Chain A
Amino acid sequence: MRKRVVITGLGIVAPNGHGIEAFEKALRAGKSGIRFMPELEELKFGCQVAGVPQNIDEVSARYFSSDQLLAMNSSIRYASIAAIDAWRDAGFEVPAHDSQEVDWGTGAIIGTGIGGMDTIVGKVVPLTAAGKVRRLGSTAVEQVMASGVSARIGGLLALGNQVTTNSSACSTGTEAIVDAMYRIRNGLAQRMLAGGAEGASPYIWAGFDAMRVLNRTRNHEPEKASRPMSASAAGFVPGSGAGVLMLEDLNRARERGARIYAEIIGAAVNCGGQRMGGSMTAPNPAGVRRCIHDALKDAGIGGRDVDAINGHLTATFADPFEVQNWAKALNRNTDDFPLINATKSLVGHSLGAAGGLESVASILQVYKGFVHGSVNCEDLHAQLLPFSKRIVRQTRETPHLRIQAKASFGFGDVNTCIFFKKWEQSAA
């Protein structure tokens, strides 16, 4: 019998706030985390704005010892801070480094889209090219291995279940949550930390700038640069950070009297096969709709039951197609379409971390009963005008919000969709 999976902890390191209180406040107030980056101007990027978490050196000094920080690049720091926050938020204490107990029931799936690019560029390439390999010391491997973002967390929290890193481009963070859910659902783990992290480095963003998929029209007004669903959307704004959830077997959560934010009632992951209009960089619409259908089926709900959608919505040409795909997949027309918003309008697109950040936003919405305003779409895209009333531009209270959808789509034509349901004692 499949076990029910609930969320009992949240951790967030976002460009517009660290910690769930600051993040919720920023979401409600429409506070942007997008800033002008002088370094990108010097490097002659077309896009010179980005979303980067603030004061991370100061935060890191409170969370980690000097020896730990010697081998923690930006993505590992973001991931580890968010994981510790989610752990504490779920009611646990960080174990002493010299304790001899391992938590065999708890694991972590923390994904990343790109990985330790700052370490590769700052250390590995220059030292290796100069014939000074031995000068790399011992800290390079653990920062450039793809699983660096989860491996550090396993040690900080003495985790004994599966500790791994997934990667599926911009679908990564959401996919991690689904993989972790399966593990608990199948009885293989009691608890899993799950989410995504992405570092902040011009070298991560350079290839996207070269593809001309980043917005280069708003360098002088950074807070207006991330414009999902807008007629003047001209590409995404690169972001960074981490979002991590604590997933828990409902029975275990009940036994210990844990606070429950929401239940994951269903999810699906697939690939469009890069056919039927899909490619490395564009989604096959049939694949997207199939993913949403499969998630509905897994959740045992119909398209009518969905109250709100936190879209993938990056501010590229694909936004109108995404909304139309949701309408078809849920069989909802423009008038009774679910409420929809784009967290990327406030924090940019943090690639492998995006699904983590946006899932934290989605769960806060369903737990607190609000839908945050999607900024910078006052000039809606012409194809989205019929949905105008359902596109949330000013934060609104939604006490009746029960089922919140979160989807992410990534390069490689990969898709993930999750349905979060408000936790009500009567459902127990």
Chain B
Amino acid sequence: MTREEVFEKVVEILNQYSKKEISKENISMETSILEDLEINSARLVDIVLDFEDAFDIEVDDDDADTVATVGDGVNLILKKIQ
């Protein structure tokens, strides 16, 4: 799976949780999940569970705590699926 494909899938997952309509055009790897996308911090737990399901990976709590930006999520997933 390419970086681009992972990015698109992550955007799709985040879209469910964001109060804003988001697409791959208006967010980047630097976009902050909590601040820029206005996602409730409690929902990070659910987003990580969705990553696990979508990419068939396991993310432990320490790894989950490192996810702050879209890029953090994409890189974590790439590391796990390789």
Contacts and interface: CB of A to CB of B under 8 A. Distances in A.
B16 A66 contact: yes
B17 to A, nearest CB: 5
Interface in A129-160: 134-135, 137-139
Closest 9 CB pairs of A and B: A137-B46, A138-B42, A138-B45, A67-B17, A66-B16, A137-B45, A137-B49, A138-B46, A97-B19
A139 B47 CA distance: 11
Contacts of A134: 45, 49
B45 A70 contact: no
A249 B15 CA distance: 41
Interface string A74-99: 00000000000000000000000110
Select the residue from A66, A97, A138, A139 with max chain B CB neighbours within 10 A.
Answer: A138
A139 B19 CA distance: 16
B45 A98 contact: no
Contacts, number: 30
Select the residue from B18, B39, B44, B45 with max chain A CB neighbours within 10 A.
Answer: B45
A138 B43 contact: yes
B35 interface: no
A65 interface: yes
B63 interface: no
B49 A70 contact: no
Interface in B53-69: none
B38 interface: yes
Nearest to B44: A138
A378 to B, nearest CB: 51
A70 B19 contact: no
A70 B42 contact: no
Contacts of B38: 98
A65 B46 contact: no
Interface of A: 65-67, 70, 97-98, 134-135, 137-139
Contacts of B40: 67
Nearest to B61: A134
20 contacts: A65-B19, A66-B15, A66-B17, A67-B16, A67-B17, A67-B18, A67-B19, A67-B39, A70-B43, A134-B45, A134-B49, A135-B49, A137-B45, A137-B49, A138-B42, A138-B43, A138-B44, A138-B45, A138-B46, A139-B46
A242 B19 CA distance: 26
Contacts of B18: 67
B19 A98 contact: yes
A70 B40 CA distance: 12
B43 A67 contact: yes
Interface string B28-51: 000000000011101111100100
Contact of B16 (A70, A97, A138): A70
A97 B21 CA distance: 14
A154 to B, nearest CB: 15
A24 B15 CA distance: 39
A65 B19 CA distance: 7
B22 to A, nearest CB: 11
B3 to A, nearest CB: 26
Contacts of A98: 19, 38
Interface string B59-81: 00000000000000000000000
A135 B58 CA distance: 12
A399 B47 CA distance: 57
A372 B1 CA distance: 63
Contacts of B19: 65, 67, 97-98
